[in-house]
Structure 1
Amino acid sequence: MRRLKIIRRWFGRRFGFSRLVCLFLLIGIAALRIADFAPIEELRVRTFDFYQRFDPRVKTVRPVTIVDIDEASLKKFGQWPWPRTRLADMIINLANLGAVAIAFDVVFAEPDRLNPDVLSDTMRYLDELTRSRLRALPSNDQVLSDALRRARVVLGETGLETVVSEIDKDLPFTGFATLGDKAGAEPDFFEFPGLLRNVPILEKVAAGRGLLTIVPERDGIIRRVPMMLRAQGNMMPALSMEMLRVISGTSTILAKYDRNGVKSIAVRGLDIPTDKDGQLWVHFARHDPSIYVSATSVLDGTAPLDMIKGKLVLIGTSAVALNDLKTTPVSNVMPGVEIHAQVLEVALTKAVLSQPNYALGVELLAAFVLGFLVILFTPNLGPVTLVAVGALFATVLVGTSLYFYKEQRLLIDFTYPLLSTTAIYLTLIFASFVREQAQRRQIRSAFGQYISPALVEQLAHSPEKLKLGGEEREMTIMFSDVRGFTTISESYKHDPQGLTALMNRFLTPLTDAILARKGTIDKYMGDAIMAFWNAPLDDNEHQINACNAALDMLEKIDVLNKDREAEAQHGGHAYIPINVGVGLNTGVCVVGNMGSNLRFDYSVLGDSVNLASRLEGQSKEYGFPIIAGSKTALAAKDKFAILELDFIMVKGKKEPEVIYAIAGREDVAMSGRFQNLRNLTIEMLACYRSRDWEGALMSIERGRRTDEAGRLAYLYDLYEERILAYQKNPPPDDWNGAFALLTK
């Protein structure tokens, strides 16, 4: 023991535990960067926004022209939508002026409301001869379709959050092919459940079809534009990408992969670098009025020839009333059609920004090198020297990042290495204060530990128990945790005192419920509670008391949620309910005072403790707030509604375990509805474990019809997913029905 103290003192003098903490901090921040934690990503993209404002793209050529349905056009020709005969005239005029290709930043999802046959049915006071003559005229859609045949025209389509109609597979789709290693990371393409297409008479004759949907990032700014998307189960090109395909004369778009995902999107003669998810970093230029031509001038034949001939033409709107305005890093307001134009410009002029695959490696290397230097030398440097060296480091990082942007058009982030180094520096500065406070702490913090009144009374009468050591007992262990607490805490990010008050509001009734049922609080872990029964005092009904405590906790949370909801309605702020998951398990454990001579806790250890923790973690997966191990459930089966859930193999254990849901007290257990659901569940489990997949699925279907409240929806979905997987890949012959959990 004395030798250990000597080693600890030597380590503290020579290296320092604060430096060891900083090493772990350095690794932890690196892990956050690798996972691309949202605040780190936000800081990075904001830095790239600054670069674009500092040095926006300067146009040397203008290959794209926008035919603008502007305020003047709307004033002259009337409100949008215009008759499609007018759009047909526009296409013919553009084709005659020599436009290379034309694209619409609008969707023609419905037949023209001014079609002659529609007018004949809706206009009053027409004689039959006039009506018949109107019906005999070709539709406006047919006129537009005939115009589309005379030029290379790309129609726009829109991704939707809901499916509005089935897709006609006979209508044309753009072909996609892949090249390279697809065994790497799976691209996270933007995906829309639905797709809004144009009327078939137009789709059939158009030269191409592309999605005009532009998805802003979390802060509403457009930085990247996806070149490939999924909509209603189909791969779709962006409007700009489809236009490039059309002018290249190819029928297929090629996606090139590497081990990180998508590397680039290509058509004949053009290879466009993208990020791993197929998105193009747009090197934005400022809003450019010089590429706009009013739709009025195109229709009346006064459009300048040099603005149309040999150009890619986009037809869109800048009119405020049509609400197609976006925000980019260089412009607070930019018409959406101009973003498509800028994508075409950067692709055709090879002015694309890119974040290379090695960027993350460069950033991690810089962070580790600077972090190690700070850890080694900060405690030994004076304040003036430290400030000077820190300023030098920051200058080198910023300068290197700016060089890569300006000279190579590469996006290398300096904020992460700077953030990591600053965090380590601040940790070292305040470590001495933290260490001094920790040395003076000899009692438990009121927020870190609570013990039951029974334990306090026993220790008061038997102070000799305040020593290291433990004893074996059969005990029931409880773990409880608040589901989605991160989301709740984020709503209090500007009100930490409010978050503390909320934690006290729900931890207090949960604690009271445990203590009222003879439980002992082991520890609080943030919003989680660990408790146990049958120690330090004997409790012959510890399983029943633990189950009652768990149900009491749910009831108290329901009361608290109702109060909070009423407060939210009265105060006019958002309400997020608190949901608790509980894991219970019974088994032999070691309980006693554990720790050091200076600080120890009355706590419990053992395999049964670990299983209780794992069961709490599974409560969300099975859809029941209380999950118990077999010993707990079987001991309490006569007083509670017990429902068998699964036969699982917990990671780290050799023997499988049957787990149960505690669904209610005796009144619930005696109800006919619960007994029906329990019998159907038993039938489903029997079929499942005997490999009767069809029988199990039939039992699930009957259970869903019986379960009007949907309490078993998660359980049925879980088993249905497993069964479908086993039907494709059957389990081995020696399978005993146990399911191995992949996580702790």
Structure 2
Amino acid sequence: MLKRGLAWVVGFAALVLLIATSATQRVDNALYDMHMRHWSHPTSDKVMIVAIDPQSLAELGKWPWPRSVHAQLIERLTQAGVRGIGVDITMTEPDLNRPDRDRAFADAIHRNGHVVMPVFAEAADQGGVLEEVLPTPVIATSATTFGHVDASKDFDGVARGVYLKAGLGQPLWPAFALALYDMNNPAPQRTLPGLRLPNERLDSPYEWIRDNYVLIRYAGHTGSFNQVSYIDVLQGRVSTHLLRGRWILIGAIAAGLGDQLATSASDANDLMPGVEYQANVLESFYDSSLITPLNLPAQLLLGSLMIALPLALFGLPGFRRTWQIATFALAATPLSSLLLLRRFSVWWPPGCCLLVTVLGLVLHVALSRFDQHHERRMKSRLAINDAWWTKGAP
């Protein structure tokens, strides 16, 4: 019993070290992505993308288009009775030559009354101080609300999740999709889900602070959401019945315009436009499918239990051989992670626990073989001594 307790202490110390150094992050991400690519789901009819696509560019000409054109689109959507509009288009510089175009767009979004505009952080000069960038004052004063469009990317460049709050100095701005969802929600999100990151709470006016990190359950590969062409809506070729009551996200899908993101639901050759990333976040709010990563204390608690599992099984009926314990323990860890993900929308990265279990089993086998070898040597020496004494006896 003492040996098992000592083995658990050593294993737990190894687990703490591995988690602290993110030693298995690549493996965990690979396991997560592999699963998410086979866990797609059909989208609802609540979210639609109005796409700035090659067809629209061919008919309306070179980007950027006059903001009076966007005003006409907003008027079309208002007449169709859409639920809310997220304009994922940067409008930070005023139209100095035709300020009436800015005014036309501002009037259109004011009349609609349910329009979200983007906020993001940018340095004016390379290496300069970050600044919060909002639409021009004329447009900003007419917008219903604002949301940040910070697409969270992991160290490998893959966008697996989103920070529900972010801002310069303090995380004040809701995520773009969250702002759109809450705008017409009779019970807005009060206590947000997600992983809290106190180490990023620098409370500095020069730092972009992010909080409430959640993982996105993507609907599938790029193109999973209903979308219509910008030009078709503008020219009245889309039925109002198709638009009525839906959340509308306006953004670019054409190559060279807007963000193109690698996601956990796609590979490097299937980049997702930023507007569809926002659509996935919005859909996740609607169907309550956001995934919460386990925080460090919870990871250590669950990991400690999984490390104790093979030690508790040793010697029980059906678990008298090392391979039996190894098979059960190594299967239980990823299956537990999968169960938490599928059943409770919680992600527990199993890589560190798996590695500790493997190392522990390898060490156990090595020590067992060493003990057996030592025992055989001792028996051999005793046999030689017995033979010598027998031979030398009078």
Relative to the length of structure 2, the TM-score reads 0.78
> Aligned-pair distance for 1:280?
2.2
Is contact 1:211–1:239 with CA below 8 Å preserved after alignment?
yes
1:334 to 2:272 alignment:
yes
| Residues 84 and 360 of structure 1, relative CA distance in 2, 3 Å threshold | same
> Aligned-pair distance for 1:369?
1.1
Q: Which residue of 2 aligns with 1:487?
A: none
Matched residues, number? 348
Matching residue's letter, 2:305: A
Q: Which residue of 1 aligns with 2:375?
A: none
RMSD between superposed Cα atoms in Å: 3.3
| Residues 194 and 253 of structure 1, relative CA distance in 2, 3 Å threshold | farther
| Residues 347 and 20 of structure 1, relative CA distance in 2, 3 Å threshold | closer
Matching residue's letter, 2:45: R
CA distance in 2, matches of 1:260, 1:144: 38
Is contact 2:118–2:147 with CA below 8 Å preserved after alignment?
yes
Residues 347-384 of structure 1 show CA distances to partners (whole Å, capped at 9, x for unaligned) of 0112222335684255223333135358x67xxx99xx
Is contact 1:193–1:233 with CA below 8 Å preserved after alignment?
no
Q: Which residue of 2 aligns with 1:225?
A: 162
Q: Which residue of 1 aligns with 2:359?
A: 423
Matching residue's letter, 1:158: F
Within 5 Å, which residues of 2 pair with 1:437-586? none
| Residues 195 and 434 of structure 1, relative CA distance in 2, 3 Å threshold | farther
Q: Which residue of 2 aligns with 1:86?
A: 69
Give the counterpart of 2:110 among 149, 153, 157. 149
Is contact 1:90–1:299 with CA below 8 Å preserved after alignment?
yes
| Residues 350 and 400 of structure 1, relative CA distance in 2, 3 Å threshold | same
Within 5 Å, which residues of 2 pair with 1:674-693? none
> Aligned-pair distance for 1:290?
4.8
Query: Which has the higher Rg, Structure 1 or Structure 2?
Result: 1
Unaligned runs of 5+ in 1: 1-13, 117-137, 165-191, 263-275, 436-744
Residues 9-52 of structure 1 show CA distances to partners (whole Å, capped at 9, x for unaligned) of xxxxx988xx89855531322323563x3223443333222221
> Aligned-pair distance for 1:318?
0.8
Q: Which residue of 2 aligns with 1:247?
A: 184
Q: Which residue of 2 aligns with 1:295?
A: 230
Q: Which residue of 2 aligns with 1:39?
A: 23
Within 5 Å, which residues of 2 pair with 1:634-645? none
> Aligned-pair distance for 1:255?
4.3
Q: Which residue of 1 aligns with 2:152?
A: 215
CA distance in 2, matches of 1:47, 1:83: 46
Is contact 1:55–1:406 with CA below 8 Å preserved after alignment?
no
Matching residue's letter, 1:327: A
Matching residue's letter, 1:111: P
Matching residue's letter, 1:420: V
> Aligned-pair distance for 1:278?
0.4
Residues 484-529 of structure 1 show CA distances to partners (whole Å, capped at 9, x for unaligned) of xxxxxxxxxxxxxxxxxxxxxxxxxxxxxxxxxxxxxxxxxxxxxx
CA distance in 2, matches of 1:254, 1:25: 42
Counterpart secondary structure, 1:248? coil
CA distance in 2, matches of 1:242, 1:351: 17
CA distance in 2, matches of 1:211, 1:277: 12
1:392 to 2:328 alignment:
yes
Give the counterpart of 1:56 among 37, 40, 44. 40
CA distance in 2, matches of 1:306, 1:259: 39
Q: Which residue of 2 aligns with 1:196?
A: 133
Is contact 2:116–2:147 with CA below 8 Å preserved after alignment?
yes
Q: Which residue of 2 aligns with 1:325?
A: 260
> Aligned-pair distance for 1:309?
0.7
> Aligned-pair distance for 1:343?
0.8
Q: Which residue of 2 aligns with 1:414?
A: 350
CA distance in 1, matches of 2:226, 2:369: 62
Matching residue's letter, 2:13: G
Matching residue's letter, 1:324: D
> Aligned-pair distance for 1:293?
0.7
Matching residue's letter, 2:14: I
| Residues 199 and 55 of structure 1, relative CA distance in 2, 3 Å threshold | same
Is contact 2:178–2:285 with CA below 8 Å preserved after alignment?
no
Is contact 1:103–1:313 with CA below 8 Å preserved after alignment?
yes
Q: Which residue of 2 aligns with 1:283?
A: 217
Counterpart secondary structure, 2:190? strand
| Residues 309 and 329 of structure 1, relative CA distance in 2, 3 Å threshold | same
1:369 to 2:308 alignment:
yes
Within 5 Å, which residues of 2 pair with 1:5-154? 22-23=7-8, 25-32=10-17, 35=20, 37-59=21-43, 61-112=44-95, 115-116=97-98, 139-151=100-112, 152-154=114-116
CA distance in 2, matches of 1:288, 1:412: 29
| Residues 234 and 201 of structure 1, relative CA distance in 2, 3 Å threshold | farther
| Residues 199 and 62 of structure 1, relative CA distance in 2, 3 Å threshold | same
CA distance in 1, matches of 2:368, 2:332: 30
Counterpart secondary structure, 2:105? helix
Counterpart secondary structure, 1:158? strand
Counterpart secondary structure, 1:254? coil
> Aligned-pair distance for 1:281?
1.6
Residues 574-612 of structure 1 show CA distances to partners (whole Å, capped at 9, x for unaligned) of xxxxxxxxxxxxxxxxxxxxxxxxxxxxxxxxxxxxxxx
Is contact 1:103–1:155 with CA below 8 Å preserved after alignment?
yes
| Residues 15 and 89 of structure 1, relative CA distance in 2, 3 Å threshold | closer
Unaligned runs of 5+ in 2: 199-209, 372-394
> Aligned-pair distance for 1:261?
7.0
| Residues 67 and 260 of structure 1, relative CA distance in 2, 3 Å threshold | closer
CA distance in 2, matches of 1:362, 1:57: 31
CA distance in 1, matches of 2:193, 2:180: 22
Residues 661-702 of structure 1 show CA distances to partners (whole Å, capped at 9, x for unaligned) of xxxxxxxxxxxxxxxxxxxxxxxxxxxxxxxxxxxxxxxxxx
Counterpart secondary structure, 1:67? strand
Relative to the length of structure 1, the TM-score reads 0.43
Counterpart secondary structure, 1:80? coil
CA distance in 1, matches of 2:40, 2:343: 13
CA distance in 1, matches of 2:146, 2:18: 38
| Residues 38 and 306 of structure 1, relative CA distance in 2, 3 Å threshold | farther
CA distance in 2, matches of 1:335, 1:257: 25
Matching residue's letter, 1:336: G
> Aligned-pair distance for 1:221?
0.9
| Residues 388 and 315 of structure 1, relative CA distance in 2, 3 Å threshold | same
Counterpart secondary structure, 1:149? helix
> Aligned-pair distance for 1:416?
3.0
> Aligned-pair distance for 1:294?
0.4
CA distance in 1, matches of 2:301, 2:36: 21
> Aligned-pair distance for 1:433?
9.8
CA distance in 1, matches of 2:256, 2:196: 42
Is contact 1:107–1:158 with CA below 8 Å preserved after alignment?
no
> Aligned-pair distance for 1:106?
1.6
CA distance in 1, matches of 2:194, 2:266: 34
Matching residue's letter, 2:159: I
Is contact 2:120–2:149 with CA below 8 Å preserved after alignment?
yes
CA distance in 2, matches of 1:159, 1:361: 35
| Residues 284 and 101 of structure 1, relative CA distance in 2, 3 Å threshold | same
CA distance in 2, matches of 1:15, 1:351: 44
CA distance in 2, matches of 1:45, 1:220: 12
Is contact 2:195–2:213 with CA below 8 Å preserved after alignment?
no
Counterpart secondary structure, 1:150? helix
CA distance in 2, matches of 1:84, 1:65: 21
> Aligned-pair distance for 1:430?
4.5
